[in-house]
Structure formats: structure tokens, C-alpha cells
Amino acid sequence: MITPDTRPPPPAPNLPPPKGSFEAFDWAGRLSIEMVREHTKTDDVPGVSDDMLRLYRQASIEAAEFYTGMLLKGKKTLVEVVQLPRNWSRHYHRHQFRYSVAEDGFAYLYGRSITMNIPVVSGQNSVRVPRMDHIPDFTNCCDPCATDDHMRIMYWAGYACPDDVPAGIVMGCLQFIAWVVEHPGDELLAMRNKTDSSNTGGGVHGIANVALISGALEQWRQYDPEAI
């Protein structure tokens, strides 16, 4: 059952647009073709076209997004369920966002017959939800079989623009592109397992993962909080 408290709110000033909204980034400024050519030393190489470099740039951004879990292709509006505690030990509950907040403004908290605008700033990773166990919940008062009584929060997720993306992510993208330019065909890089010192070849294996063999992954993994 969809009630006014489980349906995303309409657009409002200083609030994120409706759920599912997506604003794609234009990487032509932060990771320009001129920068790519300078890094790859292909200024006077006619065999490497601008269209080819744009394709490599897009592939590098997609790879960085895959390995880091960041939103790098653009920012979007997310709606997350807020799991409120049954027994409140503090005057607030801290909700951890899946992604960081893209820009200054408000996160929209709604559900349990109430709505609330919570101020947020760019880069914020969590928000405090005020204690509300004293507020009666009439969300599903007309449907005794309903079970969805969770609150939800809507916010702009990701980065405001490519200029806000960490420099190390961009550096990794350049490494990724440089490797593809130098190795456009199928190629396996022989790598030795340092823990296997045998002479039988068991410690040597081939790999064609561009993110790994180009060194880009080492740049990106420092922004992964779960990386060891």
C-alpha cells in the first residue's frame, strides 16, 4: 500500500528532485582530451583519434566507479530507508548514507506522518535523525495489514561536479587510458605470485585486467574504505 508517507515527496526549493533523478557529468573539462594526449604523449600520433580517447575516458570512469563504489558518471537522487531504533538511548539516531552528499542543501526525511528538512553539506556521510518515539505513528492507520512503517530520507548523492572528484581518481583514469593506448589489443601480462617461489611456473599467471596492470587500481583503492 502506497500512502502519503511512503511516496517520495514532490520537488521543492532547496530539496533534491524526485527519486531516480540523474544528472550526468561532463568530464570534458576535468579530464580533457588535451590532458589525455599530453599524458599519453599522443599529440602528434594520427592513429589515435579524439573519438577513441573519449571512448577510453568513458571506460576509465566506468572502471573507477566499479572498483571504488563511488558515483562518478553523475549525481543522482536516492531514497534510503531509515531504520529507527526501538529503544532510544540518545536524543537522535545517526543514519549512515550509502553515498556522500553531493551538494549543500537539505535532505528530506518523511514517514510516520511527519516530514522534515535536515540541513546537509557537500561530502557529508551521515545525518542525525531527531528522537521521535513520542510521536504517534498514523502511517498505516487505515490498513491494519500494512507492515511498512519505516521512515525514508531523500538526498543528492555523489559529487556536485567532476571538479569535486578526488585527484587520485583522475590520476588512476589517466593511467588506465595510457595503458589502453599503448596496448590496444588483447594482451596478457605475466605476473609472478610473490608467495610462490617455485621454479615450476606455478607462481606465474597471465592477467588482462587493465585497472590492475596499469596501476590505476592502486590509485583508486585508497578511496575504498574496505580496502586492506
pLDDT in tens, 118-128: 999 999 999 99
- DSSP label at residue 122: T
pLDDT surpasses 70 at 147:
no
Cα 102 to chain centroid, rounded: 10
Q: What is the pLDDT of residue 42?
A: 93
- Under the banding of pLDDT at 50, 70 and 90, the label for residue 77 is very high
CA distance 20 to 76: 7
- Under the banding of pLDDT at 50, 70 and 90, the label for residue 151 is confident
- Under the banding of pLDDT at 50, 70 and 90, the label for residue 142 is low
Q: What is the pLDDT of residue 187?
A: 54
**Helix 50-68, helix 33-40: angle, nearest 10:** 90
What are φ and ψ of residue 212, in 5° steps? -80, -50
Cβ neighbours for 118, distance < 8 A, ≥ 6 positions apart: 106, 107, 108, 109, 127, 128, 129, 153
The identity of residue 208, as a single letter, is: A
Q: What percent of the chain has pLDDT over 90?
A: 53
- Between 16 and 21, name the one with better pLDDT: 21
**Average pLDDT score over the chain:** 80
Instruction: Average the pLDDT over 42-61 and give the result.
Output: 93
- Under the banding of pLDDT at 50, 70 and 90, the label for residue 61 is very high
pLDDT surpasses 70 at 196:
no
Instruction: Average the pLDDT over 44-66 and give the result.
Output: 94
- Under the banding of pLDDT at 50, 70 and 90, the label for residue 150 is confident
Q: What is the pLDDT of residue 226?
A: 65
Locate 173 and state its grid cell. 583514469
The identity of residue 113, as a single letter, is: S
Question: What structural domains and CATH numbers belong to the chain?
Answer: 25-71+163-223 (1.10.3230), 74-161 (no CATH)
pLDDT surpasses 60 at 5:
no
Q: What is the pLDDT of residue 107?
A: 93
Instruction: Average the pLDDT over 171-184 and give the result.
Output: 94
CA distance 201 to 57: 36
- Under the banding of pLDDT at 50, 70 and 90, the label for residue 6 is very low
Q: What is the pLDDT of residue 156?
A: 93
CA distance 83 to 145: 20
